[in-house]
Structure 1
């Protein structure tokens, strides 16, 4: 199997507060890898280390066979942050067009990419509205569309379904599964919603900056003799929030 992300011995602290403790992960190409855990456990910091926004204090991060950060990697990585980074004085369409141009997409391809991404997140009818008039959920959907727009090899999504209604959440997960199955995209996703864990090919459970368990969903439930991931997390030594 080809490895898309390899993390070995990563540690990170801010001042004297340790946020990541000896993180070791391998994410295979064409898989959905889930990082689950309560808010504040270090998931977002790990995401930022993977995309090269933060430098670890120690350890190594290899993404698509190269150590991060590498400028030529950026167009191969679709990144959705936990906090929306949007131009609120522009329309949804203008935001998508800006990011498509930023990634160097040809004009004809750009139009197709915008149409595709907007349709996935069900924003097609709202693209002419300014983002300042969007609801919080609509902004999350636009952020996801931006992550999809350059047809990346790997998607790194930090709690992408927060604030999104159940019906659209189902649609988004269906598209993520299609990207995995048909296009062999690698998807690294963080969440604190335990029912999304079942949809991942492999999981890492995180608590207080440490990985407390890792494996396929069925393996983890068997290992901890649990019927659901709330119980898996609790039995593994975690806590819910």
Structure 2
């Protein structure tokens, strides 16, 4: 039963990703990001003109982000399988997962506040809320990097039968960790490729994050299927 639940939970990541793009990008129109150099008045004007879209899109994005919780739980259980117990890797993955969803929720609540009554406040306050949102939303990359490093390590030390994480998965996570790192530079740069709307800080990490979530989901499903097959045919494990 646990493996069946893990299989269902493993789909949470890609479902969350798909819904998030629909609500956050297509409905709320928050991708592409507002420019860090945009004036306070232009930011306020955008939120006034798109107030309902932003609020509805964020409301559903908040719900969509929570679908990652069972996906994260499945990752933790798969890492635990590699270690054979609750060890450093699996516990670190738990802590990373604990921060993953709030890393979406808290920034989006800030933007929801900015869009709640933008026509009634000083545009500079709205600009400050917009700054907080994008700095948090794009800049909190450390926990994602740690999760990727955990999965990289787990892939390279995996000795389970059948295997939990293929070796190529470790290299993919290592590359994702490297590509995600520039997101942390948004605290420093107001413009250019390392600003929160820049190619290195936003667009490349966004594509890498999407590929990573899909790849993690596929590897989880493959691992669970292999373990289920081994349970049905114990001789496979013995061989």
* TM-score bracket for the superposition, by shorter chain length: under 0.3
Larger radius of gyration: 2
Higher RCO, Cα 8 Å, sep 6+: 1
Greater helix fraction, Structure 1 or Structure 2: 2
Greater strand fraction, Structure 1 or Structure 2: 1
Provide the TM-score with structure 2 as the length reference: 0.27
Provide the TM-score with structure 1 as the length reference: 0.27
